[in-house]
C-alpha cells in the first residue's frame, strides 16, 4: 500500500557526520558490493569498461567547496543516500504499490515484483536517492541493509548497514531515532544535526551533523603564508651562537 | 527534466482525445453518419495512442496492470483508473451514438466529467511534484485543461467543416476563444516559471546540502566521472538559444498560426481545408510546448550536481 503509515514504532536511520567524512567513497563501494548480491535484483552497470561507464549505486559521495563570509574556503565531503523520510513523497506517488514504508521500523523499500519502472518515485524524491536499474528495469534504493540489520547468521557487530560497518573514519552511525536516548538521537541533539531541504516537507529520518567551526590559521599565525612577526629569542647554545654572530656582524 | 518523447506524446494526444470525448459527451457535434464515426474513432485514437505511448515510458511494462491499484494515494494510479473508466463510459455512449444516432444524456455527461477529471489527474502527476518548482502550481493543471479544450474544439470544428455539418463556424469561434484563454494561462505559467528557481523553492545547492549555514557552496568534485541516471533524467539541460527558438515555434504554431487560420476560415476561405491545417499546425506547436514543459523544468536533485 503506498499510503504512509501514521507513525512507525521505530525510526531507523543514519547520522552522517560531515565533520569527519574524508570522502574516501568506501561507504559507496561497500554499499554497491553488499547490495548487488543482496535484496532484489543486482545493481547493474552499463558499459562498465567502456568510454561512458554508468551504473546503479545507492550511495554517492559528493565534495563541495564552502566559502564562509570571512576566512578561507573549506572542502566538505557529502555522502548522499536515502533519508527514509517520514513523509516520503516517493511512496505516495507510486501507482503500483511497489514502494512502501514499513510501519515497524520506518524503512522505505521497493517491492521489485510490483515495480513497473515508471520512474515517478525518482522524480518525487528531492535527494536523488532512487536510481533506475537499466538492466532489471526496476527502481533501486537504499534498503538500510534490511538483510543485515536483522540477520542472525552474521556476527552481531556486522548487523548494521554496510556503509556504516565499512566507514574507516566512523563518520556514519546507525540507530533508532524514535528512541531519544539512542546514540544517534543524542548525537543529533548535541551537534545540531539537520535535515536536508526542510522546505520539501519530507521530514527525513537521516540527519547530517555540521562540520565543527574551524580555527582560522590566518588569524592565529599573523597572516596566511607569512611567518610570525615577533622573532623568538633563542636561548642556550643557539642563543650564545646568535649573540656571538651578532658581535662579528 | 529529460523530455521523453513517450510522455510528450502521451500528455498532448490524450489531452485532445479526452477533450473531444467531453465535447461529444455534452452533445456537441452533428448527426451526420460519417461525422459520428470519424469523431468517435478519432477520440479513441488520440486517447489510446496517448495511453499506449505512456506505456513505452515504462521500463517493466508487463507490470503495468498493478498501476490501477494505488488510486488512494497516487495521481498516476488515479490517471490510469480514470482513463479506463472514461474509455468504458464513452464507449457505451458511443454505441448508442453510432448505431442508433441516440445521445444518452446520462452516459454523455458522465463521460464528459470523467474525461475532464482524467486530464486533471494527468496534470497532477506533474503539478504534485514539489521537487520540480516550475510544475508545482495550479497553473499547470489549468494549462493542461485549457489546452485540451482548445485542441479538441479546434479538432471538432475541423471535423464538422469537413463533413459539411452545421455548427462548424460556431465551434470554430469557440475554438478561437479557447485558444486565447489557453495561451493566456500558459503566459502566466511561463511568467511564474521565469521567477521560480530552485533557490526560491528552498532546494538550491545551499539548502540541498544544508551547508548554506557555513557559507557559499559550490561543487568541488562530482561523485562519478560520467553521467548517471539522475543526471540524464533530472539534471537535463537545454541550451538557452534552443529553448528560445522552440518557444517561438510553440507560440507561432500552437497559437498564432492556428488563430490566424481560424480567422481566415471564418472570414473568407474554404472552412474545412483551413481548419484541418489549423489542427495539424496546432498539434505541432503543442508538441513543442510540451517538450519545453519537460526540458526547461529544473529538479531539486540537479542542485547536488551544481546544475541550476
**Residues sharing a CB contact under 8 Å with residue B228, sequence separation 6 or more, in sequence order:** A54, A55, A57, A131
Residue A119 has pLDDT above 90, yes or no: yes
What is the reported pLDDT for A1?
A: 58
Cβ contact, residue pair B74, A95, below 8 Å: yes
pLDDT digits (tens, 9 = 90+) for A146-161: 999 999 999 999 999 9
Work out the pLDDT band at A39, boundaries 50, 70, 90.
confident
Query: Between β-strands A12-17 and A207-209, what pairing exists: parallel, antiparallel or unpaired?
Result: parallel
Beta bridge partners of A74: A66
What is the reported pLDDT for A214?
A: 81
Q: Does A5 touch chain B (CB under 8 A)?
A: no
What is the reported pLDDT for A235?
A: 80
When computed from its CA atoms, the radius of gyration of chain B, rounded to whole angstroms, is 21
* Per-residue DSSP letter, B171: H
Q: What percent of chain A has pLDDT over 70?
A: 93
Neighbours of B301 (CB within 10 A): 27
Query: Considering only residues 118 to 157 of chain A, which have any Cβ-Cβ distance to chain B shorter than 8 Å?
Result: 118-120, 122-128, 131-132, 134, 137-138
Average pLDDT across chain A, whole number: 92
Work out the pLDDT band at B72, boundaries 50, 70, 90.
very high
Closest chain B residue to A139, measured at CA: B59
Question: Using a CB-CB distance cutoff of 8 angstroms, which residues of chain A are in contact with residue B227?
Answer: 52, 54
Closest residue to B233, CB basis, from A98, A119, A138: A119
Closest CA to A125 of B159, B302, B24, B200: B302
More confident of the two residues A38 and B222: B222
Residue B150 has pLDDT above 90, yes or no: yes
Closest residue to A125, CB basis, from B80, B131, B227: B131
Closest residue to B66, CB basis, from A93, A97, A194: A97
What is the C-alpha separation between B177 and B154, in angstroms, rounded? 10
- Ranges of beta strands (E only) in chain B are 216-221
Q: Does A221 touch chain B (CB under 8 A)?
A: no
Average pLDDT across chain B, whole number: 95
Closest residue to A53, CB basis, from B72, B76, B226: B226
Q: How near does any CA of chain B get to the CA of A239, in Å? A: 46
ipTM: 0.94
Q: Does A117 touch chain B (CB under 8 A)?
A: yes
User: Which element (helix H / strand E) includes B172?
Assistant: helix B168-195
Residue B160 has pLDDT above 70, yes or no: yes
pLDDT digits (tens, 9 = 90+) for A176-231: 999 999 999 999 999 999 999 999 999 999 999 999 988 776 666 555 555 555 56
Longest dimension (CA), chain A: 92
Extract the C-alpha cell encoding A47. 558499459
**Mean pLDDT along residues B46-68:** 95
Is the Cβ–Cβ distance between A152 and A165 less than 8 Å? Answer: no
Least confident of A214-218, B83-87, B96-100, B173-177: A214-218
Beta bridge partners of A176: A12
**Mean pLDDT along residues B8-16:** 97
What is the reported pLDDT for B58?
A: 95
Question: Using a CB-CB distance cutoff of 8 angstroms, which residues of chain A are in contact with residue B201?
Answer: 199
Query: Between β-strands A59-67 and B216-221, what pairing exists: parallel, antiparallel or unpaired?
Result: antiparallel
What is the C-alpha separation between A59 and B38, in angstroms, rounded? 54
Quote the pTM value.
Answer: 0.91
- Which residue in this structure is represented by grid cell 526560491? B200
Half-sphere exposure of B24 (CA within 13 A, CB side): 40
Question: Using a CB-CB distance cutoff of 8 angstroms, which residues of chain A are in contact with residue B299?
Answer: 123
Closest residue to B69, CB basis, from A67, A96, A127: A96
Domain architecture of chain A: domains with CATH? 12-213 (3.30.70.20)
pLDDT digits (tens, 9 = 90+) for A46-96: 999 999 999 999 999 999 999 999 889 999 999 999 999 999 999 999 999
Closest chain A residue to B127, measured at CA: A124
- Which residue in this structure is represented by grid cell 538492466? A135
Distance of CA A135 to the CA centre of its chain: 26
Extract the C-alpha cell encoding A195. 535535515
pLDDT digits (tens, 9 = 90+) for A228-246: 555 667 788 888 888 888 8
CATH class of B5-304: mainly alpha
Extract the C-alpha cell encoding A189. 541533539
Which is it for the CA torsion B66, B69, B74, B77, positive or negative?
positive
What is the C-alpha separation between B25 and B47, in angstroms, rounded? 15
Q: What percent of chain A has pLDDT over 90?
A: 81
Question: Using a CB-CB distance cutoff of 8 angstroms, which residues of chain A are in contact with residue B223?
Answer: 25, 28, 60-62, 80
Query: Considering only residues 45 to 64 of chain A, which have any Cβ-Cβ distance to chain B shorter than 8 Å?
Result: 52-57, 60-64
Extract the C-alpha cell encoding A17. 557526520
Question: Using a CB-CB distance cutoff of 8 angstroms, which residues of chain B are in contact with residue A113?
Answer: 63
What is the reported pLDDT for A242?
A: 82
Cβ contact, residue pair B70, A2, below 8 Å: yes
**Mean pLDDT along residues A118-144:** 97
Closest residue to B224, CB basis, from A60, A127, A134: A60
**Mean pLDDT along residues B105-134:** 97
pLDDT digits (tens, 9 = 90+) for B247-298: 999 999 999 999 999 999 999 878 999 999 999 999 999 999 999 999 999 9
**Mean pLDDT along residues A125-134:** 97
Closest CA to A3 of A113, A100, A141, A111: A100
Extract the C-alpha cell encoding B159. 471535423
Residue A107 has pLDDT above 80, yes or no: yes
Amino acid at each position: 500500500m503506498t499510503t504512509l503509515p501514521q507513525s512507525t514504532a521505530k525510526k531507523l536511520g543514519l547520522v552522517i557526520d560531515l565533520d569527519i567524512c574524508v570522502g574516501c567513497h568506501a561507504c559507496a563501494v561497500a554499499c554497491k558490493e553488499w547490495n548487488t548480491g543482496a535484496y532484489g535484483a543486482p545493481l547493474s552497470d552499463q558499459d562498465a569498461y567502456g568510454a561512458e561507464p554508468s551504473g546503479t549505486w545507492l550511495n554517492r559521495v559528493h565534495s563541495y567547496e564552502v566559502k564562509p563570509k570571512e576566512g578561507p574556503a573549506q572542502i566538505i565531503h557529502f555522502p548522499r543516500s536515502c533519508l527514509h523520510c517520514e513523509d516520503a513523497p516517493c511512496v505516495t506517488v507510486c501507482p503500483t504499490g511497489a514502494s512502501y514504508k514499513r510501519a515497524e521500523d520506518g524503512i522505505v523499500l521497493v517491492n521489485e515484483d510490483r515495480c513497473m519502472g515508471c520512474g515517478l518515485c525518482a522524480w518525487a524524491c528531492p535527494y536523488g536517492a532512487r536510481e533506475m536499474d537499466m538492466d532489471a528495469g526496476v527502481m533501486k534504493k537504499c534498503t538500510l541493509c534490511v538483510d543485515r540489520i536483522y540477520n542472525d547468521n552474521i556476527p552481531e557487530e556486522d548487523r548494521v548497514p554496510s556503509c556504516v560497518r565499512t566507514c574507516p573514519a566512523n563518520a556514519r552511525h546507525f540507530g533508532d531515532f524514535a528512541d531519544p536516548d539512542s546514540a544517534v538521537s543524542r548525537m543529533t541533539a548535541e551537534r545540531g544535526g539537520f535535515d536536508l531541504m526542510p522546505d520539501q516537507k519530507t521530514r527525513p529520518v537521516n540527519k547530517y551533523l555540521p562540520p565543527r567551526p574551524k580555527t582560522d590559521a590566518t588569524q592565529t599565525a599573523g597572516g596566511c603564508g607569512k611567518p610570525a612577526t615577533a622573532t623568538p629569542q633563542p636561548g642556550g647554545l643557539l642563543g650564545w651562537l646568535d649573540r656571538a654572530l651578532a658581535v662579528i656582524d | 527534466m529529460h523530455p521523453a518523447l513517450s510522455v510528450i506524446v502521451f500528455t498532448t494526444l490524450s489531452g485532445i482525445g479526452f477533450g473531444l470525448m467531453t465535447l461529444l459527451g455534452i452533445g456537441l457535434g452533428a448527426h451526420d453518419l460519417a461525422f459520428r464515426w470519424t469523431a468517435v474513432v478519432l477520440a479513441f485514437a488520440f486517447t489510446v495512442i496517448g495511453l499506449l505511448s505512456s506505456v513505452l515510458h515504462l521500463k517493466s511494462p508487463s507490470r503495468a496492470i498493478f498501476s490501477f491499484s494505488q488510486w488512494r494515494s497516487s495521481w498516476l494510479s488515479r490517471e490510469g483508473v480514470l482513463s479506463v473508466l472514461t474509455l468504458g463510459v464513452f464507449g457505451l455512449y458511443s454505441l448508442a451514438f453510432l448505431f442508433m444516432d441516440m445521445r444518452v444524456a446520462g452516459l454523455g455527461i458522465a463521460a464528459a466529467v470523467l474525461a475532464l477529471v482524467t486530464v486533471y489527474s494527468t496534470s497532477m502527476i506533474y503539478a504534485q511534484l514539489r521537487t520540480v518548482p516550475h510544475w508545482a502550481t495550479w497553473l499547470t493543471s489549468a494549462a493542461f485543461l485549457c489546452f485540451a479544450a482548445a485542441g479538441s474544439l479546434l479538432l471538432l470544428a475541423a471535423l464538422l467543416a469537413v463533413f459539411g455539418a452545421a455548427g462548424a463556424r460556431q465551434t470554430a469561434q469557440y475554438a478561437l476563444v479557447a485558444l486565447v484563454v489557453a495561451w493566456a494561462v500558459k503566459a502566466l505559467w511561463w511568467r511564474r516559471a521565469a521567477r521560480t528557481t530552485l533557490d526560491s523553492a528552498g532546494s538550491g545547492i545551499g539548502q540541498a546540502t544544508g551547508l548554506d549555514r557555513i557559507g557559499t557552496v559550490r561543487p568541488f568534485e562530482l561523485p562519478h566521472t560520467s553521467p548517471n541516471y539522475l543526471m540524464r533524467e533530472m539534471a537535463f539541460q537545454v541550451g538557452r538559444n534552443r529553448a528560445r527558438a522552440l518557444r517561438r515555434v510553440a507560440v507561432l504554431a500552437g497559437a498564432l498560426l492556428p488563430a490566424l487560420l481560424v480567422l481566415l476560415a471564418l472570414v473568407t476561405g474554404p472552412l474545412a481545408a483551413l481548419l484541418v491545417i489549423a489542427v495539424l499546425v496546432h498539434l505541432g506547436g503543442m508538441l513543442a510546448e510540451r517538450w519545453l514543459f519537460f526540458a526547461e523544468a529544473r529538479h531539486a536533485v540537479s542542485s547536488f550536481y551544481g546544475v541550476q
